[in-house]
Amino acid sequence: MKKIIIWLLIIGVVAGSAVYLYLFYFGAKHKDPLKSASMVTVSAMQLYDLYASQEDSANVLYLGKVIKVSGKVASIDLKESRYSVFYETNGVMGTVLCEMDSTENAKVKVLKPGDQVSIAGFCNGINMDVYLDRCKLAE
């Protein structure tokens, strides 16, 4: 009986360690958009115009891919310690929205509307705004 209890404890510790490592060490890491070999570069105005006029074509080109967007900052928003950068576009109803990675907070904090910046992130398509997430400033 003691051997069974000891073996169950050992199995429990090994399984618990494996779950912990997966969740908090291996599973928590995201790909860095700046290290992507297949990054596509586009201006914010071109990106928004293409999505607004030809969403299907834009999805083929950009959806799920890392893109580097350049343009003028229209506004910056801070919610729950995460910044969002909005680009100036010709769109009446929308814009290009970059949800910044929290590791970029110190860099984004010094940006102001009117600044010319390049941001790399993962494109998630359009829903009023063209949405990019896990973004980082591309110098």
pLDDT for the residue 81: 86
Hey, what CATH topology would domain 33-137 get? OB fold (Dihydrolipoamide Acetyltransferase, E2P) (2.40.50)
pLDDT for the residue 27: 58
**Contact residues for 72 (Cβ-Cβ < 8 A; gap 6+):** 44, 87, 88, 114, 115, 116
Residues 11-51 pLDDT 10s: 999 998 888 877 766 655 567 776 777 889 999 999 999 99
Which residues partner with 41 through β-bridges? 68
pLDDT for the residue 92: 82
139 pLDDT more than 80: no
Interval 119-131 mean pLDDT: 93
pLDDT for the residue 30: 62
**Contact residues for 117 (Cβ-Cβ < 8 A; gap 6+):** 70, 71, 73, 85, 111, 137
Residues 63-88 pLDDT 10s: 989 999 999 999 999 998 899 999 99
**How many other CB atoms sit within 10 Å of the CB of residue 34?**
15
How do the domains of the chain map onto residue ranges?
Answer: 1-30, 33-137
Residues written for the chain: 139
DSSP secondary structure code for residue 17 in this structure: H
Residue 49: burial class (beta carbons within 10 Å; 0-12, 13-18, 19+): middle
pLDDT for the residue 31: 73
pLDDT for the residue 53: 93
